[in-house]
Structure 1
Amino acid sequence: MYKTLEETAIDLGMPEEQVLRYIYEGRIRSVFDGEQMLINSSQFSTYFDQLERIKEEIEIWRNTPVPEDIDVKDED
């Protein structure tokens, strides 16, 4: 499904200028139809999958209890 520059920026949660810069750098593929840039949203599926996985890993890390205090001799 193709989306406009504005819709893509909202979906990715970044400013339109940054999305446009990524298009010019070749990091985001797009098509110009004579009036506007159209971006195929399926190219971001891996990005969103990785983002969800990272969020889950951060949540697991936050819920991991702090280990008991190891007996470290203070040399002061």
Structure 2
Amino acid sequence: MYKSIEETAIDLGMPEDQVMRLIYEGRIRSVYDGQQILINSGQFSTYFKQLERIKEEIEIWRATPIPEDIDVKDED
């Protein structure tokens, strides 16, 4: 499914200028149909999967309790 730059920016949660810069850098593949730049949204499926995995890892990290310091109970 092809989307415009505006729709892609909303989906990715970033400004349109940044999407345009990524297109010019070649990091986002796009097609120019003579009137507007269209972006195939299928190329972001891996990005969204990785983003979800990272969010899950961060939640696991936050839920892990901080171990007590060995030196806390040490009395001289």
TM-score normalised per structure 2: 0.91
Q: What pairs with 1:1-76 in structure 2 (closer than 5 Å)?
A: 1-71=1-71
- Residues 21-66 of structure 1 show CA distances to partners (whole Å, capped at 9, x for unaligned) of 1101100000011111100000001100000000000000000001
- Equivalents in 2 of 1:70, 1:35: separation in Å? 66
What's the % identity of the aligned pairs?
82
Give 5+ residue unaligned stretches, structure 2: none
Q: Report the structure, 1 or 2, having the larger helix content.
A: 2
Number of aligned positions between the proteins: 74
| Runs of 4 or more above 3 Å deviation | none
Superposed CA RMSD: 1.5
- Residues 8-30 of structure 1 show CA distances to partners (whole Å, capped at 9, x for unaligned) of 00000111011001101100000
> Secondary structure of the residue that 1:71 maps to in structure 2?
helix
> Secondary structure of the residue that 2:34 maps to in structure 1?
coil
- Equivalents in 2 of 1:3, 1:64: separation in Å? 40
- Equivalents in 2 of 1:48, 1:54: separation in Å? 10
